[in-house]
Structure 1
Amino acid sequence: MSLSIEYYRGSEISSEGKRRHLRNFEKLSTYIFSDPKTTAERNYNREKLQYAEDILAIRKAEYAQGKYGIKNSYNVKRTFLAFFEELTEEKQKQDSSNNYGNWFSTLQHLKKIISNNLTFEEIDENFIKKVRAYFKNEALTKSNLPLSQNSKYSYFNKFKASLRRAFDEGYTTINFATRTKSFDQAESQREYLTFNEVQALAKTECKYYVLKRAFLFSCLSGLRWSDINTLVWSEVRDEDNFTKVNFRQEKTDGVEYLYISKQARDLLGMRQYPQDRVFKGLKYGMTYNTEIVRWCNRAGVPKHITFHSARHTNAVLLLENGADIYTVSKRLGHREIRTTAIYAKIIDSKMKEAAEMIPELNINL
C-alpha cells in the first residue's frame, strides 16, 4: 500500500450549481504491507507508519504557519458581507471622515449584488469579475445617475482592500485583489480659496467657533480633517521660537513632524492637558459641512468649499508665495511628488501670462 497525505481545500460551486470538493494528495514514496503476516513485516509497517506520522506532524505545523494555503474550515463558512460590514465599522472608529463614507457607500452597493449568504468558500475569480462589472456598468448614484470615474475607482478599491484583508487573515487562500485591475482614476478638480477669500472668511462670523478655528488652521498648516480632529496637546511642541506638530497621519499611518506658523499656533489656543483634544467639540457631519457652505456665502465666496478644500488652499498658497514643490510635498505628507504636482498646474504663472498675450481686438457686437 502506498502512503500519502490528503489535503482538503474546501469546496466550490460549479457552473451547473453542484458543489465540488477540492482535495490534493502528497505521495510520500513509502509503502507498507497491506496484510502483514510476520513479525518483521509488522515491525516494518510500524516504522514506516511512524515515518508518515512524523511528516504529517511537520505538515500540520506548516499549515498553521499558512505555508500551504489550506482553507480554515471556520473562516471559509463566514459570509463576505458580514466581514465587509465589520471592516466598515472598524473604519468608522478609526476615522469618521470621508474615508468611512466611501466604505459605507461601497457596502451599500455590494449589498445590491451579493447574497447575504455568500461565504468565502464560494469566492472565485468569476465573483470578482461580477463585482467589477457591476461598478463599471450598473452601479448608480442616489439620483439614479451613473457613477463618476473616481467613484468607481474609490468603491472598487475598497472592495479590493477587503479582499487583501481577507487573504491576510486566512479567509481565502488566494489574494484575489492582485488578480483584478482597478479602475483608472480621473483627475479631479481641486477646489481651493485664494488669499483674499481666506481673509474674507477670517473676518466673517461662523456659527461654530471651533469649526472656524480648525478650518483656518488647516488653511495655514495643510493638515487633513482627520489629523486635526484627533490632534492632542502632547503632539504640539512649543520649542524656542517655533512650534512643531508631531503626529501620525490617519490616512497613511506615517509619522510627521510639521512646523507651523505663529498665527497657526495662535489658532490652537491655550495649552491644556497632554491628552486633551486641541479642537474640542469638532465633529464630522452634515451640520458642520452645511455651515461651511453658509459661512462661505456670508463671506461672499461663490465656491463649493468643503473642509478638505482648506488643505488644497494651503498647498496653493505655499506655491504661490515661493515654496518649492518638494517642500510642499513633504509638508502635506505626500508619498509621491506627482500628487503635489497637481497644485503646480493650478498656479502655473506662464499659463496666466499666455492668457493676455494676444493683442486686444476691436470688436463690434
Structure 2
Amino acid sequence: MKIHLRRKKLKSGKISLYLEYYKGRTKTPDGKNKILRDFEYLDLYLTPNPETPAQKKKNSENLELAEQIFTIRKAELIQGKYNIQNDRKGKVGFLEFYEEMKEERYQSKGNYDNWDAAQKHIEAYSPNHITLNDVDVKFIKGFKKYLDTVAVTKSQKKLSQNTKHTYFNKFKACLNAAFEEGYLKENYIKKVKGFSMGESKREYLTADELQRLASTTCSLPLLKRAFLFSALTGIRWSDVNKMKWSEVRDEGMDSENTPIFRIVFQQKKTDGVEYLYISKQAREFLGERRAKDDRVFKGLRYSAHMNMQLLRWCMHAGINKHITFHSARHTNAVLLLENGADIYTVSKRLGHREIRTTAIYAKIIDKKMKEAANLIPKLDLKMD
C-alpha cells in the first residue's frame, strides 16, 4: 500500500487537503481493471493565492499539520511492514476484524459463504472482548482443538476433515491479513499446523456405463441432455444451468472441414472466463439455436425430484452407484485421462486453478491400472 498527500480544489474555491491510500488493482466482473483507493479527508484547507498575512499564516499552519498527519500515517504503514505493532490497531476486536475480511469477499459467493460458515464457529469459540492484541499461539491452537473436538454441524455431527480444513483456512487467512496490515506484531498462524485436506470419494461412470446411460430412456429428457452434455464437456452444474445461447459459438469449419464449436462463459464458482472447445456430439445435445439471452437448458432446475429421477435413470441402466449431476464432471475427467489426454490439458478444460486438484483424477486412473494387472486369469501350471 502507498500513501500520498493530495490537494483538491473545491467549488468554493478553497483547496482541500486529503490522504490517498493506493491499495493496488483488481478485476471487475466484466474483466476490466479497477484501481483500489481509500481516502482520508483531513478537514484542512488552503486559500489559493493568499493575500493577507492571516491567510498566509493559516495556509502554512494547515499545510504543516497535514504534513505531520501524513508522516504519522506513513510511520504506521512502516510499523506494519517491519513487524512493529501499532497499539491503536492492536486494540481492534478480533471478531470485528474477521467480519471486515469476510465482507470484502461479498462478490465471490462460494468463498463468502465459507467465510460466513466459519464465522459461526469462530464466534462460538472466541469471546467478544478478544482483541488482536490478545491473539497468540495458544489462542490459535485452541480454535484448532475446538474444530477438532467440539464443533458440530446443524445436525449435531462432527465436522468432516475437509470442513475443518476449510474453516481453519479462513481463520488463517484472517490472521495473515491482520499481520500484513500491521494489526499483529508477529504472524503467529505460521507456528500452528492446519488440518490436512481429506480425500473425498469421486463417483464417476466408466465409458461402458456412460454408454448404457445414453441408451436408456430418462423420464426427464432435459435432464438427460444436460447430464450427457456435462459428461462430454466437464462443465459444472451451475454453469450448465445458467448457460445462455450467447455463450455458444458455432465457428464454422477448420482446414479439414471439421465443424468447430466453443463455449465461452464465466465460471460461476471461480469467476474465471473459459474458452472451451466442445465436440460435435456435445453441440447436438444443446439443440436448435434460440435467442441469445435464452437459457440453453430452459426449464432445468435443481431439486430433490430431479436428483431422484437421475438415480432412477441410473438404476434402469443397471448402474448401482450413487450418481449426482457432479458425477458427470468427474466422468469427463476420468475418461479424458484414460484416453490419453495429459493432466495439464484436463486441468485447463475443467477450469482448475491448481494442477493438484486435477491430480486426484490421475490417482483414480493409477488405481484402475493396478486393478487391470489382476484381470488376466490365473494359469494352471505344472512345473517340470
Query: Given that residues 233 and 272 in structure 1 are in contact (C-alpha distance below 8 angstroms), is that contact kept between their aligned partners in structure 2?
Result: yes
SS of residue paired to 1:218? helix
Between the aligned partners of 1:88 and 1:158, the Cα distance in structure 2 is: 11
Residue 296 (structure 2) aligns with: 278
Whether 2:207 is the aligned partner of 1:195: answer: yes
SS of residue paired to 2:285? helix
Residue 373 (structure 2) aligns with: 354
| Amino acid corresponding to residue 216 of structure 1 in structure 2 | L
1:125-145 deviation line (CA, Å, top 9, x unaligned): 344333222112323345655
Residue 311 (structure 1) aligns with: 329
TM-score for the superposition, normalised by structure 2: 0.64
1:343 CA displacement: 2.0
Q: 1:188 to 1:236 in 2, by over 3 A?
A: same
Q: Map 1:1-365; keep pairs closer than 5 Å.
A: 53=65, 55-60=67-72, 62=74, 68-69=79-80, 76=93, 79=96, 94=109, 105-115=117-127, 117=128, 124-125=135-136, 126-141=138-153, 144-161=156-173, 180-240=192-252, 241-348=259-366, 350-356=369-375, 359=378
SS of residue paired to 1:57? helix
1:238 CA displacement: 1.0
What is the RMSD computed on CA atoms of the aligned residues?
Answer: 4.2
SS of residue paired to 1:275? coil
Between the aligned partners of 1:280 and 1:198, the Cα distance in structure 2 is: 24
Q: 1:321 to 1:83 in 2, by over 3 A?
A: same
Is the deviation greater in 178-187 or in 219-228?
Answer: 178-187
| Amino acid corresponding to residue 181 of structure 1 in structure 2 | K
TM-score for the superposition, normalised by structure 1: 0.66
1:197-219 deviation line (CA, Å, top 9, x unaligned): 22333344445444333222110
Query: Given that residues 161 and 177 in structure 1 are in contact (C-alpha distance below 8 angstroms), is that contact kept between their aligned partners in structure 2?
Result: no
1:184 CA displacement: 1.0
1:317-337 deviation line (CA, Å, top 9, x unaligned): 112223233322221223443
Query: Given that residues 87 and 162 in structure 1 are in contact (C-alpha distance below 8 angstroms), is that contact kept between their aligned partners in structure 2?
Result: no
| Amino acid corresponding to residue 246 of structure 1 in structure 2 | V
1:138-165 deviation line (CA, Å, top 9, x unaligned): 2334565533322221232244345567
Residue 41 (structure 1) aligns with: none
Query: Given that residues 90 and 184 in structure 2 are in contact (C-alpha distance below 8 angstroms), is that contact kept between their aligned partners in structure 1?
Result: no
Identity of aligned residues (%): 49
Query: Given that residues 102 and 112 in structure 2 are in contact (C-alpha distance below 8 angstroms), is that contact kept between their aligned partners in structure 1?
Result: no
| Amino acid corresponding to residue 287 of structure 2 in structure 1 | G
Residue 37 (structure 1) aligns with: none
1:311 CA displacement: 0.9
Query: Given that residues 133 and 184 in structure 2 are in contact (C-alpha distance below 8 angstroms), is that contact kept between their aligned partners in structure 1?
Result: no
* Unpaired segments ≥5 residues, structure 2: 1-60, 81-85, 253-258
Between the aligned partners of 1:286 and 1:134, the Cα distance in structure 2 is: 34
1:190 CA displacement: 1.6
* Unpaired segments ≥5 residues, structure 1: 1-48
Between the aligned partners of 2:307 and 2:177, the Cα distance in structure 1 is: 32
1:239 CA displacement: 0.3
Between the aligned partners of 1:197 and 1:142, the Cα distance in structure 2 is: 36
1:286 CA displacement: 4.3
| Amino acid corresponding to residue 302 of structure 1 in structure 2 | N
Query: Given that residues 95 and 123 in structure 2 are in contact (C-alpha distance below 8 angstroms), is that contact kept between their aligned partners in structure 1?
Result: no
1:312 CA displacement: 0.9
Is the deviation greater in 133-142 or in 278-287?
Answer: 278-287
1:236 CA displacement: 1.6
Q: 1:160 to 1:78 in 2, by over 3 A?
A: closer
Query: Given that residues 76 and 172 in structure 1 are in contact (C-alpha distance below 8 angstroms), is that contact kept between their aligned partners in structure 2?
Result: no
1:277-328 deviation line (CA, Å, top 9, x unaligned): 3333444454444443343234332111222211110011112223233322
Between the aligned partners of 2:239 and 2:213, the Cα distance in structure 1 is: 22
